[in-house]
Amino acid sequence: MKTQPITHSGLVSTRLSYGCMRITGTWNPQEITPEREANGKKAVLAAYETGYSLFDHADIYAQGACEELFGKVLKDVPSMRKEIIIATKCGIRFNGDPNPNSPHRYDFSHNHIIESCEKSLQRMGIETIDIYQLHRPDLLMDPEEVALAFSQLHQAGKVKYFGVSNFLPSFVTALQSKLRFRLVVNQVEIHLGRLAPFYDGTLDQCIAEGITPLSWSPLGGGFLGEGGKTEDPKRLKLIETLDAIAKQYGISRTVLSLAWLLKHPSHIIPIVGSANPEHIRDAAKADDVELDREDWYRILVAARGEGLP
């Protein structure tokens, strides 16, 4: 697979990333069976063997069980660690954490960031996280407090680089103003069913500041992929357009939807989240598609559901 640099870092990633949110087959750790664990390992290895080099995690995925399962794969294939980039996230706390009456909230406090990082390292059995991200904007974020936590983790050798997720440009700017090093990624929901990042300044800021955008749910939760279903007339029209253009290129709708993202000059890295090895391998074909400008705009217009201004 082709590669690209993660700006402001020494990291070089493949143009597609593999997301580990679904590798346990459930978000309830008590429902993880030996069969589900075996399937999860197969999915991770399929991504690794296909050439994906950036693996995306978060501490909340299956309450940490996804990180634990990934750690087992690293133990089984120790050479893998030196060949991949490991990214994970912190900051979301669900109901009952840590007390029964604790509400669902976002937490960028110094202690929570430090403790979350330590736990992720332990679960994956690694010494360093390559990219550590804040998961969703905490409205009580104190950039100086976050900067202190980041600096301590970096100085301790526990994190190489830092990023954010689901941040609008103003939040990125506020945090960056207090950091002594550059944020390297912003992971945002970007796909043909959600065009906001193309218009709200998110991708413009990524270009201007050299931040690499990571696209979570690049297939719109599956509706853009083969077998995806929707009853929305606007989305049905988009699917028809994608199918027609995909046929011209001799590729699947999934591959075309990913290739559409790859063409943007901000160098979006789509995060492929399927746990099906066949689908993981098929998605990688987007790396070889050169979509022309006219077809890119045909697809954009179909996604907008109206003509350009």
| Dihedrals phi, psi of 132, to nearest 5 degrees | -110, 125
Q: 106: which DSSP letter?
A: E
Q: 156: which DSSP letter?
A: T
What is the rounded distance in angstroms from the CA atom of residue 39 to the CA atom of residue 35?
A: 6
Of 68, 304, 12, 33, which is closest to residue 184 (Cα–Cα)? 12
What is the rounded distance in angstroms from the CA atom of residue 236 to the CA atom of residue 162?
A: 38
Q: Tokens 């090093």 appear where?
A: 181
The one catalytic residue in 52, 61, 132, 161 is 61
Task: Describe the crossing of helices 253-262 and 293-304 by its angle, rounded to 10 degrees.
Answer: 110
Q: What is the DSSP string of 39-64?
A: HHHHHHHHHHHHT--EEE--TTGGGG
Q: What six digits make up the tokens of 13?
A: 């990633």
Q: Is 61 a catalytic residue?
A: yes
Instruction: List residues with catalytic annotation.
Output: 61
